[in-house]
Chain A
Amino acid sequence: MNKNITIQVCMGTGGIAAGGSEVLAAFESLMREKNIPAEFKKECSMHKVGCRGLCAKDVLVDIITDDRRTIYQYIKPEMVERIIDEHVVGGNPVSEWEVAEDYHKFHEKQVKVVLSDCGNIDPEDINAYIAVDGYKAVEKVFASMTPEEVIDIMKKSGLRGRGGAGFPTGVKWEACRKAEAGQKYIICNADEGDPGAFMDRAVIEGNPHAVIEGMVVGAYAIGASKGYVYIRAEYPLAVERLKKAIKDARERGFIGKNILGKGFDFDIKIKLGAGAFVCGEETALIASIEGQRGMPRAKPPFPVHRGLWGKPTVINNVETLANIPYIIKKGHEWFSSYGTEKSKGTKVFALTGKIKNSGLIEVPMGITLKEIIYDIGGGIENGKALKAVQTGGPSGGCITTDMLDITMDYESLARVGSIVGSGGMIVLDEDDCMVNVAKYFLQFTQSESCGKCVPCRIGTKRLLEIMDRITKGAGRQGDIELLEKLSSDIKAASLCGLGQTAPNPVLSTIKYFREEYDAHLQGKCPAKACREMLTYHIIEEFCKGCGACLRACPAGAITGEKKKPHKIAPEICIKCGACFDVCKFKAVGKE
């Protein structure tokens, strides 16, 4: 008979979207209402966990018994009863619902530091965090380390900022420590805004206490008595869990007055961002907390010297902070054993796009892109060919198929014109038009420009206009050179990181996919993705005259008699592609 059964339901945002709340509710109500022997009810605990990474297979459910962990995938509420009957009570796992080999392959090459407890503990229960040695790092630094020693460990660990720029964390802390001021601040930057990036969200949703603990250690090291978490209001679940975590940590004395009786005060406030991407830039973030419009200012002075309210301030990214408790607990040697010479530790990436296993992964720095795409990601969906991998979101660039052996670290990616960035990784296949991809990112940065400096506000608009006409088949000779010239001027003359990196997607795609730009100038989109450049026609020899396309056409552009080849009137056609999608006989051609 089973004893000590734990049921864990993935309830990060991905899990909840897939129905995690309903699955957990089904377990709870069935365990209560069903005629189950009392000893099972007593021995069985059920709780939610944060993101486990492989969101594509949600809802994921773990049943942990004394001797083994069984993982189920794609669980729906109606499947719960059978799992209870056969597995929880009967002791025989429902093998057909268990995860397959691809789940295990997804995890094989991953190394989990930041995410080690994420997906294993209940993020809303401080006891669960304490049970896995949570807040031991705080206890350790308060009991036996001076702030300088903490900084020294951070420097030796080689940890660099995970928000994108990769500045060494220990060096930043040291500069702030040395700045003389009565008041200092530490800010957790949780204003994650890159399209397709959800690393910080998953960390806060899955293990908020690790972030808080990292902040307490940081505050102790630099001498800050106040901290802020600047988090997007679009992350309601993360905000809710963080609020609870801060409250619980305060009640237990890990933050607040006289922490652990050592005479050190530190407390944390949450500041909700209102959705401006630029507020992830540290000086804009500071302005936003101060109640000003989120607009960056020139550096120097750097925030470590003049930050929030003019006081020395350290701003660290969520993932950076979540690394810190583990570095303190396990030592800098352990941490720096992962990674390359200059990029230590692990990095969390949000693997998305045309990849089989999309989700959240944590890999040691220095892993090759090939390993990520094929071993962890399981390759490209639908048997299509890989075209490129975009890293670093709107500030990053593309990596092409002939560079798949590139290692994932700050230096290697910078060498090929991309960046690690906050960790977005978008996989593109043969159906993706690179000009269109670059245009998409540019659209994002242009609309998120704060408007302060001319090159970013107007320059990116002009870039976008040129890209727009190229993708509409109206590109002019000399446009590519104009893009290059304007891009390099925007990079050189912009005020903050947003403008300085906004042209990267354009420059990177021109560099590696110039032939696609040239083709567009000649009126062809090789990937057949740019709608305005396509024409649809009926291939008469395949057309059966079934009328499906005629009925599907929203513009009334298709005519024809039954059982005779139909016709598309190009002057009426709005190029929506509905006919192409419905035709079963491949009789609609697009060029």
Chain B
Amino acid sequence: MKKLKITIDGKTIEVPENTTVLDAAKMADIAIPTLCHHPKLTPFGGCRLCIVEIKGIPRPVTSCTTPVSEGMEVTTSNPQIEDLRKTVLELILSDHPNDCMVCEKAGDCTLQELAYFYGIRENRFAGERRIYEKKDGNPFIERDMEKCILCGRCVKVCDEVQGVGAIDFTYRGFKSKICPPYEKDLDCEFCGQCVAVCPTGALTGKQWTMKGRQMGVKEVDTVCSYCGTGCNITLHVKDNTVVRVTSKEDTWHEGWLCIKGRFGYTFINSPDRLKRPLIRTAPEGQSSPDPLSLFKEASWNEAFDLIASKLSGIKSKHGADAIGGLSSARCTNEENYIFQKFIRAAVGTNNVDHCARL
């Protein structure tokens, strides 16, 4: 690939052709503030925080949308640029609820962090704020559009990554808003990718509410057990309870999750969760308002012995083809291989299938 030589803040580096100025700066370990930019999504150029000066171009340009060219000389910070960034941030904050105290996102919010770094306490541009009634009947995603800064990341992740397109920009001017068609309740896959990429508290998980933010929350990296894909997830644990699930961007699946991985974690602490095998003790046909009373708790060895004896019994009485095996998509590839091997070689039948084929 062709390499181009450019100078950023006096530092000369070589970067591949088609690199953006923002990415080039990153390679040179120079940080440029951004809000609307997301490395996995197409550049937007809406927040204007990543503006830089390029020699020969009369006006500041957004580094996230500008590709490098040979010999380019970039200044990422000077008093004029920082002054413009401060104005832009003040404008965003002038239309943003000042309620970090009670915001779910506090401590993990890009906007809050930038306001902190730019020391924005007073606001020269205080004025009308957009006020929206919080109403969205969906069970997973809390949408507080007053906190939305219209960075467009949610719109793009929904379209470019998930391929769903459940939301988009509507209205014009100050009233511009991101919402589902006709401002109806969100009705999508609820994968929550939009929640993952939102840089403010506009999109959060409904299940997270009041469960704990950053303080006292331990992060535990693990693998999602919902399917054989094996996405890396990070459990946010407070007082031995999972309060939130996220996924890191530097994982093999780039941090994208589905609805189950992101929101299906409440079973972990459910009192109904089965933690040990149960063996039915009640005779066939008997029922009870308390189903657990029909079973007795057993060890894994007891359970395996029972399964083995039942399978052997059926096989000797009716032949191996009286047995069939159905495996689960929640198992890994290797587990599924072992299962079919077990059914074919140990049981001796080809009656084996998988739920994902149904």
Contacts and interface: CB of A to CB of B under 8 A. Distances in A.
Interface string A318-337: 00000000000000000000
A interface: dominant SS: helix
A171 B248 CA distance: 49
Interface string A449-491: 1111111011111100100000000000000001001100100
Contacts of B44: 452
B45 A489 contact: no
Contact of B152 (A448, A452, A461, A494): A452
A482 B124 contact: yes
Contacts of B173: 446-449, 451, 457, 460-461
B88 A450 contact: no
Contacts of A482: 124
A298 interface: yes
Interface string B89-110: 0011011000000000000000
B48 A453 contact: yes
B72 to A, nearest CB: 12
B interface: dominant SS: loop
A458 B92 contact: yes
B174 A458 contact: yes
Contacts of A455: 48, 87-88, 91
B66 A493 contact: no
B46 interface: yes
Interface in B122-138: 124-125, 127-128
A298 B125 CA distance: 26
B350 to A, nearest CB: 51
B51 A461 contact: no
Nearest to B44: A452
Contact of B174 (A293, A295, A446, A485): A446
Interface string B153-182: 000000000000000110111111000000
Given A455-B91, A458-B92, A449 B172 contact: yes
B59 interface: yes
B84 A489 contact: yes
B205 interface: no
A287 to B, nearest CB: 11
Given A297-B65, A461-B174, A493 B51 contact: yes
A458 B124 contact: no
Q: Bin chain A's interface residue count.
A: 20 to 34
A493 B176 contact: no
A578 interface: no
Interface in A414-453: 446-453
A486 B124 CA distance: 10
A298 B61 contact: yes
B48 A462 contact: no
Contacts of A376: none
A495 interface: yes
Contacts of B15: none
A459 B59 contact: no
Contacts of A30: none
A295 B48 contact: no
A492 B53 CA distance: 11
Closest 10 CB pairs of A and B: A451-B176, A298-B65, A461-B174, A458-B91, A489-B87, A298-B45, A462-B125, A447-B173, A465-B127, A449-B173
Interface of B: 43-48, 51, 59-62, 65-67, 83-84, 87-88, 91-92, 94-95, 124-125, 127-128, 149-150, 152, 168-169, 171-176
